[in-house]
Amino acid sequence: MMIHKHHIIPRHMGGTDDESNLIKLTADEHAEAHRLLYEQHGCWQDYLAWKGLTGLSSKEEIIQMMYEEMRGEKNPMYSKPCYHNMTEDQKQQWKTNISKSLKGKKKSQEWKDKMRWDGEYNPNYGKIPWNKGKKGLQQKSLESKKKVSKPVVFRGIEYYSITEAAKQNNTTAYYVKKEIRATSK
């Protein structure tokens, strides 16, 4: 059974991630909690959480509804300057404010673990690689490489490509091209 962490006071209403504001619920209980919050306060965030947790709305529908709710003046970033449009003074003030807000805050061990991207924290953990068993992704054969490449003569030996000449002579393609140009003049 999957257990969810639910904010007693939702973050969109000013609630924090503090342990005293979190409760463990099953997925059904979590959905019901958001339904009750929606009926009590009418916040669209709880409506979307309820619909998403119960599967009554698809991910695409929820994203569309969020987009509709966050348009124009409803968007918290509405009328705020974009970083690229800020003056140098505004950019410096913005950086200073962020630095002040982060000073003295320590990252939780859970956050550090999630940032490791290994084991169960990796979103691809336990999944089959997308290219497993796929054909046509292997290295091209020498014959197929010869068909599409332009042969070159380097130090008196013919190679099927500049790259091959570079590999065989333990040098770079740049040096091979340079030497071929010098000898052809």
CB atoms < 10 A from the CB of 163, how many? Answer: 15
* 13 assigned to some structural domain: yes
* 51 assigned to some structural domain: yes
pLDDT tens, position by position, 12-39:
888 888 889 899 999 899 999 989 988 9
Judge if pTM exceeds 0.75.
no
* 60 assigned to some structural domain: yes
* 150 assigned to some structural domain: yes
Residue 69 CA neighbour count, 13 Å, CB half: 13
**Where in the sequence is the domain holding 23, given as residue range(s)?**
3-78
* 12 assigned to some structural domain: yes
* 41 assigned to some structural domain: yes
* 96 assigned to some structural domain: no
Question: Residues 65, 85, 101, CA angle at the centre, nearest 5°?
Answer: 75
69 in Cβ contact with 44 (< 8 Å) = yes
Rounded to whole angstroms, the Cα distance separating 148 from 161 reads 9
The total domain count for the chain is: 2
140 strand-pairing partners = none
pLDDT tens, position by position, 103-152:
877 777 776 666 666 666 677 777 887 777 777 656 667 677 767 778 88
* 21 assigned to some structural domain: yes
